[in-house]
Amino acid sequence: MKILVAGRSGQVAQSLAAISTPDRQFVTLGRPELDICDPASVEAAIRAHQPAALINAAAYTAVDKAESEPEAAFAANETGPRVLATAAHQAGFPILHISTDYVFAGDKDGFYTEDDPVDPQSVYGRSKLAGERAVAEANPNHVILRTAWVFSPYGNNFVKTMLRLAADRDTVRVVSDQWGSPTYAPDIAEGLSRVLDKALASPTNPSWRGIFHMTSQGTCTWADFAEEIFRQSAERGGPSAKVERITTAGYPTPAKRPANSRLANGKVEAVFGFGLPAWRDAASAGIQALA
């Protein structure tokens, strides 16, 4: 069985490609042959591969750059998901779509559930929220999985940045007033595959449709995450640095980040019967893969 994955070079797309088996082949496609904003290229990919489902792992993820490029962000994060969901609906199969903690304002005291009101504070967050709505409108057969703080052996991410910085400095300044769950893209890929099991086995069951939160277990600040990365890296003889804890105000960025990105995972556990590993175990797997 083939599963079409939009986005070939991204962290989640490459993690899906890595767990392909002869029984479940994740066919990852990206530009130029598959542009999610171009209906003709999406329809051609579906005709060529005859997949059983579609996963959208493509997105515009440059959070700060999005503030000055809203059209590009909305094209990839709203138009593209609508094109994919429409094509999947016409072909009669489900779409799994990935979204983000940035749909929330980040000012809640406690974990965000799927029922909490959204209130994105950045262009990226607004474009991702528009994408969630576009997918839900275009294809009732959808699962939208919101995740956060993604890292992996692939592409650019926080773990790689910390290890690179530690290679040539003693101290790294990291914000310590934003909370979330560092989530390992290979764990997201396993989670998507578990979701697919149910979605494909009982395609008419409405309980698996809708929005779900899926992050690592446990929460921390970016500074905590950096300290754990350096502790584990040092244990393996890799680069390490001291973390200087700073506030968000001390590290101004064009896009506002949610102070609280803690997502409650109870719904995905109840409906799909799994949870992702704890973030420290995820960090360990990531550092081992990079070593």
Would you tell me which residues interact with ligand NAI (CB under 6 A)? 6-7, 9-12, 30-31, 34-37, 57-61, 76, 80, 98, 100, 128, 147-150, 155
Least Cβ distance, residue 59 to ligand NAI (angstroms) = 3
| Three-state SS annotation for 45-111 | HHHHHCCCEEEECCCCCCHHHHCCCHHHHHHHHHHHHHHHHHHHHHHCCCEEEEEEHHHCCCCCCCC
Least Cβ distance, residue 279 to ligand NAI (angstroms) = 13
Would you state the structure tokens that stand for residue 5, as one six-digit string?
């994955």
Complex with ligand NAI: residue 49 or 203, whichever CB lies closer = 49
Complex with ligand NAI: residue 30 or 238, whichever CB lies closer = 30
Nearest to 81 by CA among 120, 124, 42: 42
Complex with ligand NAI: residue 77 or 141, whichever CB lies closer = 77
Contact at 8 Å (CB) between 195 and 145?
Answer: yes
Residue 50 falls in which region: left (phi positive, over 0), alpha (psi -120 to 50) or beta: left
Least Cβ distance, residue 163 to ligand NAI (angstroms) = 17
Q: How far apart are CA 55 and CA 94, in angstroms?
A: 9
Contact at 8 Å (CB) between 137 and 86?
Answer: no
Please identify the residue of the shown chain whose CB is closest to the bound ligand NAI.
10
Complex with ligand NAI: residue 57 or 220, whichever CB lies closer = 57
Contact at 8 Å (CB) between 67 and 60?
Answer: no
Complex with ligand NAI: residue 9 or 171, whichever CB lies closer = 9
The count of residues in the chain is 291
How many helices and strands, by DSSP H and E, does the chain display? 11, 12
Complex with ligand NAI: residue 98 or 143, whichever CB lies closer = 98
φ/ψ of 53, rounded to 5, equals: -165, 165
Nearest to 211 by CA among 149, 272, 257: 272
Ranges of H-type helices in 139-184: 158-168
Would you state the structure tokens that stand for residue 45, as one six-digit string?
């990919």
Active-site residues: which are they?
A: 124
Least Cβ distance, residue 203 to ligand NAI (angstroms) = 23
Least Cβ distance, residue 193 to ligand NAI (angstroms) = 15
Least Cβ distance, residue 274 to ligand NAI (angstroms) = 18
